[in-house]
């Protein structure tokens, strides 16, 4: 197999907008030479990680900017390759001039999305879960998401996958040994059934965290719903902290579904205010009601807001309206409701006065999250969950095969589980899968 020479890649590492500082990053064998063309005052053998103050010049030697030059000597860099950074003033046009200059060199080409991180992965600087955590960190839009991604970056998930992969690999080797060298390896498969069962439990435990991972990564979706005029929009505004939704005494005020993003206890949430439900509405309002039903089916939690006059029979009807979605029921307008009217243990809130709103926030969080802090989790992504699911299925088949099939079948299933797990860590991963993963990174990452 012949290898094309490794190209040197270049991209802006900072957002393409005006900022205090903008960074042009180069990675690959020609990084230092090409970088020094723009910064000729930097010595030919610069001290790694030393920040040189240098003039960045155009082809005629005229100064374009004065900035910092950083050199990372391979393999002690983010990518494991030679890396040079030009830290310039953050003018978008200036940065494009600098980028264009380094691209004039035929050894340099623009980096594809995620290519710096991809090289870090391919050069063994990090496993796949850590590479993905880099993208998670950039995309994180709540404190919980930041902390979970940071845990991933520090290798928490990688460690747990390794703790599953290593014993699975040992098991596979033992079973294969018995198959191939029945005399020498005799008995090495004696406890195979118990080992498969233990690994299956472990894998299922990780798989079970995928739902929480999604909740942290994307944030939860929570809809307020209920009869018209119950005070949903008033409560929505109170929860969001600003007058986002129109409020009026006219029943049927809200027509479209309104969304607002909030962060409670570090967890990101999208709150939805919906059109109140009632029989025989006007045409436009009926469209709104259809949207409410659609929204209700797609949220993590529905908060049913009931007006003080709602009967228990009506409440039952509204509860059914949410279908399979979990419902948290609250008694609204508690400032004008008589205490006796409310059911015991029912949350009583008033959007108008703010009474009970803190308790509602707490109740929503605990319904979504159960016990424990949202930060105490490594992000198991959909991709990881898919691979873990396949690993679990293979292990379950291996367990069943212990009793009814040959050892070959058991070994085959354990091998499949190993392969599926390898997709999580990156030990067995196809070019196509890597393409799919790094596609979602931004250019320059
Ligand atoms: N200016 C700048 N800031 C940045 C980055 C960058 O590339 N440039 N990063 C990029 O995303 C992140 C930092 N990540 C980095 C990770 C590893 C190494 C590195 O040089 N690793 C070597 C040496 C380790 C050591 O000395 O402890 C190694 O792993 O061998 C550098 C940056 C965030 N901040
Ligand atoms: N006393 C009292 N009145 C409230 C409270 N919340 C809302 N209201 C009043 O009830 C009426 C309806 O309020 P909205 O918030 O628009 O009710 P809604 O459930 O969004 O109504 P629709 O969008 O029509 O379904 C308005 O006149 C509000 O001022 C409350 O907590 N206490
Ligand atoms: Mg409303």
Same domain, 113 and 162: no
Residue 375 lies in a domain: no
* pLDDT over threshold 70, residue 376: no
Cβ neighbours of residue 436 closer than 8 Å, sequence gap 6 or more? none
Same domain, 230 and 356: yes
**Two structure tokens written together for 254:** 């809200």
Q: pLDDT (tens digit, 9 = 90+) per residue, 318-371?
A: 999 999 999 999 999 999 987 666 666 789 999 999 999 999 999 999 999 887
Same domain, 278 and 315: yes
* pLDDT over threshold 90, residue 264: yes
Same domain, 121 and 155: no
Same domain, 245 and 327: yes
Percent of the residues in the chain that have a pLDDT greater than 90, as a whole number: 78
Residue 392 lies in a domain: yes
ipTM of the complex: 0.90
Cβ neighbours of residue 165 closer than 8 Å, sequence gap 6 or more? 418, 421, 422, 425, 427
Residue 72 alpha carbon, nearest atom of ligand 1: 20
Q: What b/e sequence results for 382-395 when a residue is b if at least 16 CB atoms lie within 10 Å of its CB, and e otherwise?
A: ebbbebbebbbbbb
Domain CATH code at residue 253: 3.40.50.300
Residue 445 lies in a domain: no
**Two structure tokens written together for 281:** 């509405």
Strands 301-306 and 327-331: parallel
| pTM of the predicted model as reported, rounded to 2 decimal places | 0.89
Measured CA to CA, the distance from residue 131 to residue 121 in angstroms comes to 7
Same domain, 243 and 363: yes
Nearest ligand to the CA of 245 is 3
Measured CA to CA, the distance from residue 251 to residue 271 in angstroms comes to 21
DSSP single-letter state for residue 18: -
Domain CATH code at residue 73: 3.30.1360.120
Measured CA to CA, the distance from residue 113 to residue 134 in angstroms comes to 13
Domain stop point among 67, 98, 125: 125
**pLDDT at position 300, please?**
96
Residue 431 lies in a domain: no
* pLDDT over threshold 90, residue 187: no
Local confidence band at 404 (pLDDT 50, 70, 90 cut-offs):
confident
Domain stop point among 100, 125, 150: 125
Place of tokens 């979706």: 221
Q: Is 346 touching ligand 2 by the criterion CB < 6 Å? A: no
Residue 251 alpha carbon, nearest atom of ligand 2: 24
DSSP single-letter state for residue 227: B
Q: Is 232 touching ligand 2 by the criterion CB < 6 Å? A: yes
Residue 248 lies in a domain: yes
Same domain, 193 and 307: no
**pLDDT at position 82, please?**
98
Nearest ligand to the CA of 331 is 2
Name the residue range of residue 334's domain.
221-369
- How many CB atoms sit inside 10 A of residue 27's CB? 29
Q: Give strand ranges (E) for 205-318.
A: 220-225, 258-264, 267-273, 301-306
Express the helix, strand and coil content of the chain in percent, nearest 5 each. 45, 15, 40
Q: How many domains does the chain have?
A: 3
Q: pLDDT (tens digit, 9 = 90+) per residue, 121-177?
A: 999 999 999 999 999 999 999 999 999 999 999 999 999 999 999 999 999 999 999
Domain CATH code at residue 171: 1.20.120.430
Q: Is 274 touching ligand 2 by the criterion CB < 6 Å? A: no
Asked if 69 and 84 count as a contact pair (C-beta separation under 8 A), the reply is yes
Measured CA to CA, the distance from residue 82 to residue 33 in angstroms comes to 10
* pLDDT over threshold 70, residue 113: yes
Same domain, 175 and 200: yes
* pLDDT over threshold 90, residue 273: yes
Residue 1 lies in a domain: no
Same domain, 120 and 22: yes
Q: Which helix (H) or strand (E) holds 207?
A: helix 192-207
Q: Quickly list DSSP for 272-297.
A: EE-PPB-SS--HHHHHHHHHHHHHHH
319-326 own/partner pairs: CB under 8 Å, 24+ apart: 321/225, 321/277, 321/293, 321/296, 322/225, 322/296, 323/296, 323/297, 324/297, 325/296, 325/297, 325/299, 325/300, 325/301, 326/300, 326/301, 326/302, 326/367
Report whether 250 belongs to an annotated binding site. Answer: yes
* pLDDT over threshold 70, residue 373: no
Residue 359 lies in a domain: yes
Residue 87 alpha carbon, nearest atom of ligand 1: 1
Same domain, 119 and 143: no
Q: pLDDT (tens digit, 9 = 90+) per residue, 203-249?
A: 999 998 888 888 998 999 999 999 999 999 999 999 999 999 999 99
Same domain, 106 and 45: yes
- What residues does the ion ligand 3 have nearby, CB within 5 Å? 232-233, 253-254
Q: pLDDT (tens digit, 9 = 90+) per residue, 51-63?
A: 999 999 999 999 9
Q: Is 247 touching ligand 2 by the criterion CB < 6 Å? A: yes
Same domain, 67 and 184: no
Q: Which helix (H) or strand (E) holds 87?
A: strand 83-90
Residue 8 in 3-state DSSP? strand
Residue 437 lies in a domain: no
């Amino acid at each position: 197999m012949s290898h094309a020479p490794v190209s040197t890649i270049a991209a802006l590492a900072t957002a393409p907008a005006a900022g205090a500082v903008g960074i042009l990053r180069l990675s690959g064998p020609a990084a230092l030479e090409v970088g020094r063309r723009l910064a000729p005052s930097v010595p030919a053998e610069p001290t790694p990680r030393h920040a040189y103050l240098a003039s960045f010049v155009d082809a005629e030697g005229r100064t374009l900017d004065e900035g910092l030059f950083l050199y990372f000597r391979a393999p002690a860099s983010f990518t494991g390759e030679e890396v040079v950074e030009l830290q310039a003033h953050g003018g978008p046009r200036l940065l494009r001039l600098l980028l264009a200059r380094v691209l004039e060199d035929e050894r340099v080409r623009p980096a594809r999305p995620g290519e710096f991180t991809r090289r870090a992965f391919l050069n063994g600087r990090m496993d796949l879960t850590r590479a993905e955590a880099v993208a998670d960190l950039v995309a994180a839009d709540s404190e919980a998401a930041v902390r979970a991604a940071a845990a991933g970056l520090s290798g928490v998930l990688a460690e747990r996958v390794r703790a599953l992969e290593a014993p699975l690999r040992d098991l596979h080797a033992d079973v294969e040994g018995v198959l191939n060298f029945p005399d020498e390896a005799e008995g090495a498969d004696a406890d195979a059934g118990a080992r498969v069962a233990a690994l299956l439990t472990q894998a299922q435990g990780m798989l079970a965290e995928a739902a929480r991972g999604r909740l942290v990564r994307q944030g939860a979706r929570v809809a307020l719903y209920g009869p018209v005029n119950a005070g949903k929009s008033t409560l929505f505004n109170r929860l969001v902290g600003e007058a986002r939704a129109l409020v009026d005494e006219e029943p049927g005020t809200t027509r479209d579904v309104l969304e607002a993003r909030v962060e409670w206890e570090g967890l990101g949430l999208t709150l939805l205010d919906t059109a109140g439900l009632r029989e025989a509405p006007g045409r436009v309002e009926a469209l709104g009601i259809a949207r409410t039903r659609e929204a209700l089916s797609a949220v993590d939690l529905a908060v049913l807001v009931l007006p003080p006059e709602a009967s228990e029979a009506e409440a039952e009807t509204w509860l059914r309206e949410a279908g399979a979605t979990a419902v948290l029921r609250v008694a609204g307008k508690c400032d004008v409701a008589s205490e006796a009217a409310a059911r015991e243990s029912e949350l009583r809130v008033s959007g108008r006065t703010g009474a009970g709103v803190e308790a509602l926030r707490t109740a929503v969080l605990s319904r979504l999250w159960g016990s424990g802090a949202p930060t105490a989790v490594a992000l198991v992504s959909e991709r990881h969950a898919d691979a873990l699911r396949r690993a679990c299925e293979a292990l379950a088949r291996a367990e069943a095969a212990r009793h009814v099939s040959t050892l070959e079948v058991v070994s085959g299933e354990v091998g499949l589980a190993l392969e599926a797990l390898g997709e999580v860590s990156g030990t067995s991963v196809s070019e196509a899968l890597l393409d799919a993963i790094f596609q979602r990174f931004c250019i320059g990452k």
